[in-house]
Every structure is written in structure tokens, then in C-alpha cells.
Amino acid sequence: MAGGSRVRARADNPVRCVLMVLDLRTPVIAGVGQVTNLPDPDVELIDRPDPSALMARALRLAAEDCGGSNPGGAASVGDRLLRRASSLRVVAPLGWRTKNPALSVAQILGIEPREFVLSGVGGNNPESILHASALSISRGEMDVVAVTGAECMYTHSAALRQPGGRSLNWPTQPAESTPEPVEFGTDRPPVTNFELERGIMLPIHAYPLLENALRGANGWSVEEHRARIGRLWSSFSKVAASNPYAWIREFKSPEEIVEATASNRMVTFPYTKLCTANLQVDQGAGYIVCSLEAALSAGVPKERLIFPLAGADAHDHWFLSHRMELHRSPAIHLAGRAALEMAGVGIDDVGLIDLYSCFPCAVQIAAHELGLRIDDPARPLTLTGGLTFGGGPGNNYTSHAIASVVTKLREEPGSVGLVTGLGWYATKHSIGVFASRPPAHDGVDGFRWRDVQDEVDSLPQRSVDSSAVGAVVIETYAVTYDREGAPERAIVACVFDDGRRTWANITDPDSLESITTSEGCGRTGTLQENGVLTLA
């Protein structure tokens, strides 16, 4: 139908009982699907599904989730939508590398979209893809978009641990004859060469820096901070215990989470293993977003439609070195404010929340920037249990969050939901607002989106000096541990008296013991030419 056509739709419940006039290009989420393939000792590793199979299964479940009748053996409502998909968009898997995974998924499903898309790296991508899809639908460029992603890192890792490393025979594609997918998003390395030299190589090195910066900025003692982390992550564990798609469904007490044991070793101070994202999962999720016209013509019941109201995207100053404060995220603050404003709601109107939760600091920083309490039992900050307990399937976690918020919004008509996605080292951010009601504003731009990058880029940046030596103050730090639980070295962010930042290392055992048992932020020291920091 023409982009300006409208339909009168009466809501089928008290919350949606007002007669509305909606543009037929209004984007809606018609179906969501999640699959969690838990370990099964009776199934050989080689017989467990690969990522493409989990992606296809997630989209089949999303098709079933569209509801509607199926008279006379005709194609189901969801199947009709999948067959109309203009684009099949895959969140890039980390544990399975092939040229065009969306093509493999389409072949399994037996559909022929005109476009195959592959995202870049980052947990912001499932939400960012939703924003881009909703905008394309609003503009009349597409009618139906299918989005999916999956990881099978549990199976992959288990195979590698077997003697000789077992081949799983996952599907491959011939490089020359396989068409190139459309690339979604832009990317670049997450760290500078200087940061890399000082040991910031992985998330388990970067996020403890942010966590300890939070403690220093708030004046918590090491023990107070440890208890806060335990309580927060235990509350996430409680949500996961009742989530049928969670990987770990056993409630963990605060003490179990923060106490270092043989099965819960220290990884990087202040984090134990149970404070980190759990990548060893076999999980997939997907969703079908389409125009209101496509949903209604396929027969999706109105009460199943969920509306993306608004979204915003941005990245903080890309490298940690350049951020003014390592316990803050201006990008989350500005993107969150924009998304809520465009949705016509305040943060107190949002009842269903899922904050990206690779590490506790990611949740705490986002909660602060959005104006949320981290200890409100009536309003948990996760719908899944987070990446530790719900599961952290690489870049695709936020697809599970989107699927969960859609399900909850149907169960609680009238509620508003908010989902955040995050990429790299609290670098890239995507925030979406959802509801079971249509957008309050009228017109073809029923879904609204804003890029707030210019606002973020205009904010001050730290200057970095990689060669200066002398007296410095510790801004924050992270202490890495070996497999036996002994501290190895500290990665330290330092500032000179004129505000320049630099990076250093501490390897002295007594100094490492000191900054893991008492506060190191704010302490002074002398930086030597070899990058080693000696505490005063």
C-alpha cells in the first residue's frame, strides 16, 4: 500500500481501547524467538546444532510467535511474513566464521530475501539493526526484515578440549562463489597501541578499570564495593533462575558471586569468574520487524504487536585514554535522554528494563546515566539474568533482551520497556524504547531515531602522554590473576598534575597486595621510563 495510507485499529484490551489512526508504514515487532541448547550428555558434540541451525530455529520460533490461525493447512502467519522478508540480517557470530551466514540461514529456512546483511562486532548491533530496520520500513524501503544471531561456543570449546581437538564439520561456504553480504555498522580496533602495550587486550582487562574507577569516584571502601557488586549480580541471578532461556538457572547469593574459590577464581580485580560475561553458551535469538500493513495482511493478531517507539545511538570517545572520566558514559546519558524524549516518556514511566550486563560496571554506569536505582526490587535492571547467568552469546545478547522485552510487554499491556546494547569497552551504545501501544505522535515517522554523536564528540577529551615520567596520581587500575589465584600485574591509568593521562604497570607483589586489599585510586607514585609505576 502507499506510504501515506492509514488504517483504523481498535485495541483489544483496556490499555489500547482508544480509536487510533495509524500510518501503515508504522514499524512493529510481530514475533520473537529464543533457543538455548543446554549441555546434554546423551548427545554427541558432533550432533549438536551449529550456529546457522540455531539462527534458523530462532527465526522459526519468531514466526510461530506471530500467532494467528492457520486454516486449511495454509502457510502460517509467521511463515508468510518470513517469505516476504526483504532483508535477512545476521549479528556476526564470534565462534563460526563464514563469508555470508545470512545466506546459510535463508537456505535452511527456504526463503529468498533480496538482501543479506552481516553486522560488525559489538553487542550494540542487535538494537542498532532494529533501529535501521524500523527506519527502512517507515520510509517504505522494506516491508519485512528478519534479524537473528547465535553462538555455539559451548560446543566449540568442548570439542577443542577433547584429545586431538574434534572436528565439528560446521557448514562452510566457497569464498569465490558466495555473494558478499551487506556490511552493517562501522568498526575499528578498540584500543590504542599504547593501551595494548600496557596490557589492555580483552574485556577482562578494560572493564575492571571502569569498575575500580566507580569505586574511587564514589568513595566506597574495597569491602563496601565488593558487597555492592555481589548484591547487584545476585539480583541478576534471581531473574535468570526463572528465565526458561537462561544458561545458569541456579540462584547465586552475593557471597557465592564475589568469594574466590576453586570453581569461581579471581579473574581480574575486583572480578571473580561469576562477575564476567559467560561466553561458553549455545544460544540463538531473533525477531521479525515489519510494517503494520504487512503484519495485519499476514493475519498477526493486534494484541501481539509491539511498537518500537524511539531509539538513539552513539559512541563515547572511542579509546579509554581520551575519556575525561572513566566511571561515566556521556553517550549513554545523551542517547538515553534522546530516546526517552522522542518516545514521549520519562525514565519513571519505564517499567521493563534490560541494561547490557557484560560486567557489573556496565550496569552501574548505565543506571547512573539513565537515572535508575540499581537496588529497586520492583524494577530489576535485567529481563534475562544478564550475560553471566542468562548467557552471553557473543554479539547477540541484546537480541535476547529484545525478545524478552517483547514477551513481557505483551504480558503487561500498557507498560513501557527500555533496552540498551553495548559494544567494545563501554564504547558503542544503542538504546531503544518499546511499548504495546503505538507511538503517541502521528505521521510516517511514527518510530523516531536520533544519532547523538555530534553532541558526544563536542565534549572535552583527555590528552595522553606515552613518554612522560615522574610523579603521577593513580586514577584507576585492574589487577590480573594467574590460574592459581595469584596476582600477576596491574594495569594502571595515571594522571599528571596538569591532567594528562598515561598508562603504567605494577608488578611488585607487595604493591599488588596493597591495592587489592585497600584503595589504590588516588595514591601517588613515580612512573619510570620502562612504564613501571612505583608506589609512594
Asked whether 23 and 443 are in contact (CB, 8 A), the reply is yes
Same-domain pairing of 97 and 173: yes
Same-domain pairing of 51 and 156: yes
In a domain, 15, yes or no: yes
Pairwise CA distance, residues 216 & 202, whole Å: 22
Q: Record the cell numbers describing residue 466, joined without a space.
A: 606515552
Pairwise CA distance, residues 163 & 92, whole Å: 29
**DSSP of 266-315:** EEEETEEGGGS-----EEEEEEEEEEHHHHHHHT--GGG-BEEEEEEEEE
Pairwise CA distance, residues 285 & 57, whole Å: 8
Backbone angles phi, psi at 88, to 5 degrees: -115, 120
- Structural domain containing residue 530: 470-535
Predicted confidence pLDDT, tens digits, the chain (536 residues): 334 444 433 334 433 433 356 889 999 999 999 999 999 999 999 999 999 999 999 999 999 999 976 655 556 899 999 999 999 999 999 999 999 999 999 999 999 999 999 999 999 999 999 999 999 999 999 999 999 999 999 999 999 988 876 678 899 999 899 999 999 998 899 999 999 999 999 999 999 999 999 999 999 999 999 999 999 999 999 999 999 999 999 999 999 999 999 999 999 999 999 999 999 999 999 999 999 999 999 999 999 999 999 999 999 999 999 999 999 999 999 999 999 999 999 999 999 999 999 999 999 999 999 999 999 999 999 999 999 999 999 999 999 999 999 999 999 999 999 999 999 999 999 999 999 988 875 544 589 999 999 999 999 999 999 999 999 999 999 999 998 889 999 999 999 999 999 999 999 999 999 999 999 999 999 999 999 999 99
The DSSP output letter for 395 is G
In a domain, 353, yes or no: yes
Where among 415, 434, 457 does a domain terminate? 457
Same-domain pairing of 95 and 159: yes
Same-domain pairing of 13 and 116: yes
What own/partner pairs with CB < 8 Å and gap ≥ 24 does 327-331 have?
327/210, 327/213, 327/214, 327/216, 327/217, 327/218, 327/361, 327/365, 327/476, 328/365, 328/368, 328/369, 329/365, 329/366, 329/369, 329/426, 329/429, 330/369, 330/456, 330/459, 331/429, 331/452, 331/456
The pLDDT score that the predictor gives to residue 503 is 98
Same-domain pairing of 402 and 521: no
Same-domain pairing of 492 and 362: no
Same-domain pairing of 385 and 485: no
Same-domain pairing of 344 and 435: yes
In a domain, 498, yes or no: yes
Where among 409, 427, 457 does a domain terminate? 457
Nearest to 20 by CA among 437, 413, 436, 299: 437
Where among 407, 436, 457 does a domain terminate? 457
The pLDDT score that the predictor gives to residue 341 is 96
Pairwise CA distance, residues 4 & 22, whole Å: 10
Same-domain pairing of 377 and 505: no
Pairwise CA distance, residues 389 & 248, whole Å: 5
In a domain, 146, yes or no: yes
Pairwise CA distance, residues 414 & 17, whole Å: 11
In a domain, 242, yes or no: no
Same-domain pairing of 318 and 348: yes
Domains identified in the chain, total number? 2
In a domain, 99, yes or no: yes
The pLDDT score that the predictor gives to residue 75 is 66
The pLDDT score that the predictor gives to residue 72 is 52
Same-domain pairing of 442 and 476: no
In a domain, 208, yes or no: no
Asked whether 474 and 525 are in contact (CB, 8 A), the reply is yes
The pLDDT score that the predictor gives to residue 148 is 98
Q: Record the cell numbers describing residue 453, joined without a space.
A: 554523536
Pairwise CA distance, residues 260 & 332, whole Å: 32
The pLDDT score that the predictor gives to residue 426 is 97
Question: Domain of 528: which CATH number?
Answer: 2.40.50.840
Same-domain pairing of 133 and 177: yes
Question: Domain of 331: which CATH number?
Answer: 3.40.47.10
The pLDDT score that the predictor gives to residue 8 is 39
The pLDDT score that the predictor gives to residue 5 is 47
In a domain, 317, yes or no: yes
Amino acid at residue number 44: E
Dihedral of CA atoms 130, 402, 33, 26 in degrees, nearest 10, equals: -50
Asked whether 421 and 308 are in contact (CB, 8 A), the reply is no
